[in-house]
Amino acid sequence: MNPGREKVRIGSSVRTALASGQPVVALESSVFVQGLPSPQREQVAQEVLTLVRELGVTPALTAVVAGVPWVGLELEQLQQLQSTPGVRKAGWRDLAAVMASGQSAATTVSATLALAHAAGLLVLATGGIGGVHRPRRTASPTLDVSADLFALTRFPLIVVCSGAKNLLDLPNTCELLESLSIPVVGWQTDRFPAFYIRDSGWPVSCRVDTLAEVSTLWTAHRRFAGGAVLLVQPCPEGAALTAQEWEYWLEQAEAEAHQSGQQGGDWTPFVLRRLAELSGGRTVRANQALLLANVRLAAELARALAPAEPTAAGESRP
């Protein structure tokens, strides 16, 4: 394929893996740029990349660098994004604008789904997806819904995560996932996890206990041209928070955000920073633990799904 006509720029290690039919796991870059504080983000990025490679799988970090969408970012490129103050966070809708303006941006789950699908990948690992946001200090409903949910309907990948983030309206998030016909598959669990918390109180749509079951379900799902499948696993037990302590810290953090006049895109970073402080760093450690667990599961799944035949880089698999 002519590199100048590719939808995305494929990193050399990812291109080699696809050409030889070896497993690849897509990774969003936003979690390593905006999702964790420094120096934890640099440390966790290195741990994730090392873990994937130790499991015999090629990591495929996604981002936009100087207007070029990448699948298979090199560590040096990621470090440049991490060291750039105020680097943009790009969702699916932002990709064209970032590319057209020649900007660089870390990619969220929705953008990573688009880029990974363009490169022909099947498995994506992340911490937690976005969803329906809760109203802030008002009883009015909100139309603030993450693009992640709609990207899941469009791009057929298996997304390994720990459910949706606790800051969200989880009941409405689960309802919308059902309305959008996105299978929510519990990995050795019957319950939908809530990021730091192992059980949101909501059930999954089905449960699997082996990689073979995931493969069978994925094959059946693709017969009807479905979008993505969410494969959810709880935060590791030793790192998880209880619902009671989480609600206590969250109420205090949101009250402080309201009192200090946080609005728009500043609200969530402020709340997350205060949660880390109020919990004595436990939220950050839980985030690290669940991300590594999800990456491990995604790598094992990618090995199980690795095609018998090589796949040309940039060509989507059926």
Residues involved in catalysis: 28, 165
H-helix or E-strand spanning residue 158: strand 158-161
CA–CA distance from 74 to each of 78, 87, 95, 210, 318 (Å)? 7, 17, 19, 32, 27
Q: How far apart are the first and last CA of the chain?
A: 19
> Using CA atoms, how far apart are residues 47 and 41, in angstroms rounded to an integer?
10
Residue 8 · residue 119 · CB < 8 Å: yes
CA distances from 44 to 98, 138, 252, 301 (A): 26, 37, 28, 21
How many C-beta atoms lie closer than 10 Å to residue 285's C-beta? 17
